[in-house]
Amino acid sequence: MPKSFFQEFLDQLAPLYGMRALRPDKMGACQLLLKKENLLVLFEYDDHVVPNTVLASVPLGEVLAGNEKQIMKELLKGNQKSENVLSMQPDEPICFLHRRLSSSIAGEELKKSLASFTGAAKKWIEKVGNPERAFDEQEESSKAGQIFPYKKV
């Protein structure tokens, strides 16, 4: 049986965080606690939504009562500025940051994209905790690198 796209992605991801190997769980996902960044990142391969991509997701925290309207406005503004997608659970006031990565992204491009993603996640964690804080996520987007590498024909 050939290696799956997702396993190949995990094989590229593991050495970036000093690990020998990563394996998906029974649900087809891999969750990492990045100690240096103090972030929990979930990587999922979902061929049904966008073929051959991996969805990276980070929980940003719970929206404090009374801040829901302000945070929703900030999430909408943030969704217009970069390749990241911000969301809020419909049944709980918890925000998430997501980014789709090509399953074939590797090496320096993967490292650069993940550094940009985790940097944006840290800023959004602060933003969710303090909705009045301003920052420019477009700056993070410019550091993201090429998420969907293409091949010249």
- In a 13 Å sphere around the CA of 16, the CA atoms on its Cβ side amount to 19
Residues counted in the chain = 153
pLDDT tens digits, residue range 18-45?
Answer: 999 999 999 889 999 998 889 999 999 8
For the chain, what percent of residues have pLDDT higher than 70? 83
Q: Which residues pair with 17 in a beta bridge?
A: none
CA distances from 47 to 23, 28, 35, 102, 114 (A): 17, 11, 29, 11, 21
Q: Alpha-carbon distance 18 to 7, whole Å?
A: 17
Kindly provide the residue ranges of all beta strands, DSSP E only, lying in 85-137, ordered along the sequence: 85-88, 94-102
Dihedral angle, C-alpha 26, 29, 35, 37, nearest 10 °: -170
Instruction: Give pLDDT, residue 138.
Output: 45
Q: Is the pLDDT of residue 82 over 80?
A: no
Q: Please provide the DSSP assignment of 39-90 as one string.
A: EEEEEEE-TTTSTTEEEEEEEEEEPPTT-HHHHHHHHHHHTTTSS-EEEE-S
Owner of token pair 């929703």: 72
Q: Is the pLDDT of residue 58 over 60?
A: yes
Residue 52: count of CB within 10 angstroms of its CB: 13
Domain-by-domain residue ranges, the chain?
5-142
CATH of domain 5-142: 3.30.1460.10
pLDDT tens digits, residue range 130-150?
Answer: 766 654 544 444 444 444 444
Average pLDDT value for the chain: 82
Specify the pTM: 0.80
Q: How far is CA 126 from the centre of its chain?
A: 16
Confidence tier at 129 by pLDDT (50, 70, 90): confident
